[in-house]
Amino acid sequence: MHRETKELEYVDTVVKVRYAETDQMGVVYYANYLVWFEVGRVAWCDARGFRYSDLEERHDRMMMVAEANCRYKAPARFEDEIVIRTAVGRATDKVMRFHYEVRRKGTGELLASGETAHVVVDSTLRPVRLPQEYRKYFLLPE
């Protein structure tokens, strides 16, 4: 069972670049984009109507990152406002693939894009199925 759509439904999250996120060149350090992807995923969960922490605390389930990639297009700098756009592109009851765009707020310039793949695991890190009540958030068949 899986879900894949032609047109992704993005959730947008606005972040202002902090000085600590930049390198000596005044450009956002590359690894921070992966942190912003996480910010986007948590915001995506909130926007869909559930808290990621409830998945962990109430159901002993986590979405462990199995793969991550990022393509850098243009630099972000200190005090830039950016928009992290997050969507689920493909989901099964065991694996979710999130898509991201990081854009400059105002101009919409694409700064980076990427994907992460997540395997649903329990606290022993064994792959398990997503709890039934969460399937609707990823548009999986009941």
Residues marked as catalytic: 23
- Three-state SS string across 12-40, please? EEEEECCHHHECCCCEECCCHHHHHHHHH
Q: What is the dihedral of CA 34, 37, 41, 47, to 10 degrees?
A: 160
